[in-house]
């Protein structure tokens, strides 16, 4: 939880508790040292932003590039270098910078100082800058003649195609829509995922080459699984969850003006749905429900609508609105109901705020209990009651029933997979099972990723696809699956950085015998330990007193008011200017990795810590220790802002 605004400029945290803020004897600390004989070692750990990122991005890494700390290779701009570091994990920086709910920001250690680093805004800056400059993905030579079938061209499928191609593996994407993008295209409105940017990020993946695309093709109907097994070396199921769940009330199925949130949004994103109903009630509380009510407020309604133009007819695919209806739009009354209190809703907080600002009425802690229908069978009202939650399940409070009149009821309470024709893969819940390597149990050569495993975030699907691509590579090469690390992310690796800068260690010569204890040897990186695959560094390991109060540099946003929202489809968030993106990146505390503040060099009383020679310097290799001088006083560790120094080397 971020510090409250009232306390933001009162930086009251301290490194030590009362009574422990000074040494009992400075003489002992400086000249005698401690009795543990411990000396500093430089330990690389994973920052919590990265540990919280479902796609496992090296967030600290690309923030350091934007801020100017980590320098790019020769002939590469820092903008392109940041793009390449970001997309090593996630090929959609522009999209994720806009719509990801940013668990990385919730995990950011800077929350313990004043407020998180605006990671999303900088990611959008990286992605939009790449778009403007036409940066492309590199495509290595193919390493196998085997090809992978990817079923579904959404975030998981496109991420898998990208990561497979980076590994030298060709693929073919099957999708039953007219365009690629999945939920990014058909599930999220264009004012959140601008179509020109989305299409560009998808096209950039396909342009890597050896990625075939077969659109308007449904596996299980237009092509059989058996045919795919004969043609391809492996199959990845990334078909998402596009079957919305109906409300658990009698008569939902078969009531014409009761639809799912997924179907509502798909009809809008296809361009078929141009107006909605007079009174819309959406039941949900998550991000999908927020998109539904926000779209409904923008579309509005028209009076005296023809029966064939009713929104449920369009959502059902029986008709489509023509452009003429747009001119007659008027504001619609839109209500969102949720089981949870507002602070427990799963929707992103700022999206909830925007919906309220746009004129949506939100009713919390209520549950649907029945539909009220007219003689024709159409719903005319939704009966609700106040409720409490018992172990996550709603319990009606007797005597609190009431009704909301409506012309359209939208259910956004969850999604399931459509496995029609794919019964052999259905786990009984409308989903596909997968193990920790994203293999389908009992189905050799079949893998799965994304919502079809368990509906979650777009970035979760992207991260799962990255691991699945690695598993598929092992399978095609008939290799044993490698054990996954405890912190399964894309990590900064010092050895890779040393190779990039021409500072690779020399080859170790085993014929020279035991060479332990040779601190001046060139075959090893001394004083350094990499625990990034095993540990996430908490704020308690940092020296927070180093960091001054620095407010966030926020993206400019324009959220239309209730009077302005009708027909307002412009993007709400503007990209950060370059100077502000750099300034915001500089707020990163570089948790778990040296950011070259010089505290350890300045405060070491023995001058034991020194900057490495400029010819040997690179990111992550800035300081070293002369152990002949070190007395183990651990002052360097105490004043290290990033928690990079451990008193560990020695007895």
Tokens linked to 455: 């509906």
In angstroms, rounded to a whole number, what is the distance separating the alpha carbons of residues 153 and 167? 19
Residue owning tokens 């998402």: 240
- State the pLDDT confidence band at 531, using cuts at 50, 70 and 90: very high
Tokens linked to 644: 């990079």
Least Cα distance to 446 among 121, 193, 180, 226 occurs for 226
Residue 516 pLDDT: 66
SS (H, E, C) 7-39: HCCCCCCCCCCCCCCCCCCHHHHHHHCCCCCEE
- State the pLDDT confidence band at 8, using cuts at 50, 70 and 90: very low
The string of DSSP letters for 224-262 reads -HHHHHHH-SEEEE-----EEPPPSSTT-TT-TTEEEHH
pLDDT (tens digit per residue) in 583-626 = 999 999 999 999 999 999 999 999 999 999 999 899 999 999 98
pLDDT (tens digit per residue) in 17-62 = 666 655 555 555 555 555 566 889 999 999 999 999 999 999 999 9
- State the pLDDT confidence band at 631, using cuts at 50, 70 and 90: confident
Let me know: does 507 contact 21? Beta carbons within 8 Å: no
Any idea of the CA torsion for 440, 446, 452, 455, to the nearest 10 degrees? 60
**Chosen CATH of 245-412 out of 1.20.1250.20, 3.40.1010.10, 3.50.50.60, 2.60.120.10:** 3.50.50.60
Checking if the pLDDT of 401 tops 60, the result is yes
In angstroms, rounded to a whole number, what is the distance separating the alpha carbons of residues 453 and 419? 12
Per-residue burial over 177-188, b = 16 or more CB atoms within 10 Å of its CB, e = otherwise: bebbbbbbbbbb
What's the mean pLDDT in 337-364? 94
Label the pairing between strands 211-214 and 170-174.
parallel
In angstroms, rounded to a whole number, what is the distance separating the alpha carbons of residues 335 and 322? 26
Per-residue CA distances from 330 to 190, 191, 324 (Å): 21, 20, 14
Residue 520 pLDDT: 72
Any idea of the CA torsion for 242, 248, 250, 251, to the nearest 10 degrees? -10
Residue 573 pLDDT: 87
Highest mean pLDDT among 33-37, 378-382, 526-530: 378-382
- State the pLDDT confidence band at 418, using cuts at 50, 70 and 90: very high
In angstroms, rounded to a whole number, what is the distance separating the alpha carbons of residues 368 and 296? 20
pTM, entire model: 0.92
pLDDT (tens digit per residue) in 244-267 = 999 999 999 999 999 999 999 999
Label the pairing between strands 379-390 and 402-405.
antiparallel
Residue 391 pLDDT: 86
- State the pLDDT confidence band at 632, using cuts at 50, 70 and 90: confident
- Going by C-beta distance under 8 Å and a sequence separation of 6 or more, which residues neighbour residue 5? none
Let me know: does 262 contact 455? Beta carbons within 8 Å: no
pLDDT (tens digit per residue) in 85-142 = 999 999 999 999 999 999 999 999 999 999 999 999 999 999 999 999 999 999 999 9
Comparing 9 with 349, which gets the higher pLDDT? 349
Q: In the sheet where 170-174 sits, what is the strand order? A: 211-214, 170-174, 147-151, 234-237, 446-448
Tokens linked to 99: 């719509």
Residue 5 pLDDT: 46
Let me know: does 149 contact 232? Beta carbons within 8 Å: yes
SS3 54: coil
Tokens linked to 635: 């002052």
Checking if the pLDDT of 638 tops 60, the result is yes
Tokens linked to 196: 């020109």
Cα–Cα–Cα angle for 65, 71, 73, rounded to 5 degrees = 115
Residue 207 pLDDT: 98
Q: Where exactly are the structural domains of the chain?
A: 5-134+491-650, 147-242+417-476, 245-412
In angstroms, rounded to a whole number, what is the distance separating the alpha carbons of residues 342 and 262? 22
330 beta partners: 301
**Chosen CATH of 147-242+417-476 out of 2.60.40.10, 3.40.50.720, 3.50.50.60, 3.30.70.3270:** 3.50.50.60
Residue 4 pLDDT: 46
- State the pLDDT confidence band at 1, using cuts at 50, 70 and 90: very low
Round the average pLDDT of the chain to a whole number and report it.
92
What's the mean pLDDT in 414-426? 93
Residue 16 pLDDT: 55
559: number of Cβ within 10 Å: 17
In angstroms, rounded to a whole number, what is the distance separating the alpha carbons of residues 260 and 245? 7
Checking if the pLDDT of 451 tops 70, the result is yes
Residue 3 pLDDT: 43
């Amino acid at each position: 939880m971020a510090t409250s605004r009232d306390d933001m400029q009162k930086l009251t945290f301290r490194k030590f508790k009362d009574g422990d803020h000074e040494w009992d004897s400075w003489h002992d600390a400086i000249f005698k040292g401690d009795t543990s004989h411990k000396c500093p070692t430089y330990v690389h750990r994973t920052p919590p932003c990265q540990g919280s990122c479902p796609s496992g991005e090296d967030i600290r890494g690309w923030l350091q590039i934007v801020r100017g700390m980590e320098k790019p290779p020769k002939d590469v701009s820092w903008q392109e270098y940041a793009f390449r570091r970001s997309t090593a994990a996630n090929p959609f920086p522009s999209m994720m910078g806009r719509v990801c709910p940013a668990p990385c920001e919730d995990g950011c250690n800077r929350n313990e100082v004043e407020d998180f680093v605006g990671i999303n805004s900088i990611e959008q800056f990286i992605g939009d800058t790449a778009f403007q400059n036409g940066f492309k993905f590199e495509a290595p030579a193919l390493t196998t003649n085997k090809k992978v079938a990817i079923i579904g061209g959404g975030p998981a499928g496109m991420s898998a195609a990208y990561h497979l191609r980076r590994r030298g593996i060709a693929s073919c994407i099957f999708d039953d829509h007219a365009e690629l993008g999945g939920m990014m295209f058909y599930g999220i409105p264009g004012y959140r995922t601008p179509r020109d940017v989305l299409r560009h990020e998808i096209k950039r993946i396909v342009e890597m080459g050896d990625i075939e695309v077969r659109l308007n093709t449904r596996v299980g109907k237009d092509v059989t699984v058996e045919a795919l097994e004969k043609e391809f070396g492996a199959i990845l199921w990334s078909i998402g969850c596009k079957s919305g769940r109906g409300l658990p009330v009698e008569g939902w199925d078969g009531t014409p003006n009761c639809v799912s949130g997924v179907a509502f949004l798909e009809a809008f994103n296809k361009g078929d749905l141009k107006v909605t109903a007079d009174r819309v009630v959406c039941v949900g509380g998550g991000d999908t429900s927020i998109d539904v009510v926000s779209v409904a407020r923008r579309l509005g309604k028209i009076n005296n609508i023809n029966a064939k133009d009713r929104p449920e007819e369009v959502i059902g695919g029986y008709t489509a609105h023509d452009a003429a209806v747009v001119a007659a739009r008027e504001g619609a009354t839109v209500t969102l109901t949720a089981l949870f209190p507002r602070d427990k809703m799963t929707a992103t907080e700022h999206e909830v705020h925007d919906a309220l600002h746009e004129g949506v009425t939100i009713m919390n802690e209520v549950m649907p209990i029945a539909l009220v229908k007219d003689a024709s069978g159409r719903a005319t009202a939704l009966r609700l009651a106040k409720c409490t939650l018992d172990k996550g399940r709603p319990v009606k409070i007797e005597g609190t029933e009431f009704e909301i009149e409506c012309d359209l009821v939208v259910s956004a309470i969850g999604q399931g997979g459509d496995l029609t024709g794919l019964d052999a893969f259905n786990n009984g819940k409308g989903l596909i099972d997968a193990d920790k390597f994203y293999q389908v149990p009992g189905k050799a050569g079949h893998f799965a990723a994304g919502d079809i495993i368990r509906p979650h975030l777009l970035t979760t699907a992207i991260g799962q696809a990255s691991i699945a691509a690695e598993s598929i590579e092992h399978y095609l090469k008939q290799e044993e699956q490698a054990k996954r690390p405890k912190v399964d992310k894309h990590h900064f690796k010092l050895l890779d950085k040393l190779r990039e800068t021409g500072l690779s260690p020399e080859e170790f010569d085993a014929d020279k015998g035991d060479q332990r204890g040779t601190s001046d040897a060139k075959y090893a990186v001394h004083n350094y330990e990499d625990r990034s695959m095993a540990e996430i560094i908490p704020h308690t390991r940092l020296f927070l007193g180093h960091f001054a109060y620095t407010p966030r540099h926020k993206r400019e946003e324009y959220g239309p008011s209730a009077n302005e929202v009708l027909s307002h489809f412009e993007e709400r968030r503007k990209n950060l200017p370059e100077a502000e993106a750099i300034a915001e990146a500089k707020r990163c505390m570089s948790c778990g990795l040296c950011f070259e503040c010089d505290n350890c060099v300045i405060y070491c009383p023995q001058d034991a810590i020194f900057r490495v020679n400029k010819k040997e310097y690179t990111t992550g290799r800035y300081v070293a220790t002369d152990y002949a001088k070190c007395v183990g006083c651990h002052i360097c560790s105490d004043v290290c802002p990033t928690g990079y120094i451990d008193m560990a080397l020695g007895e």
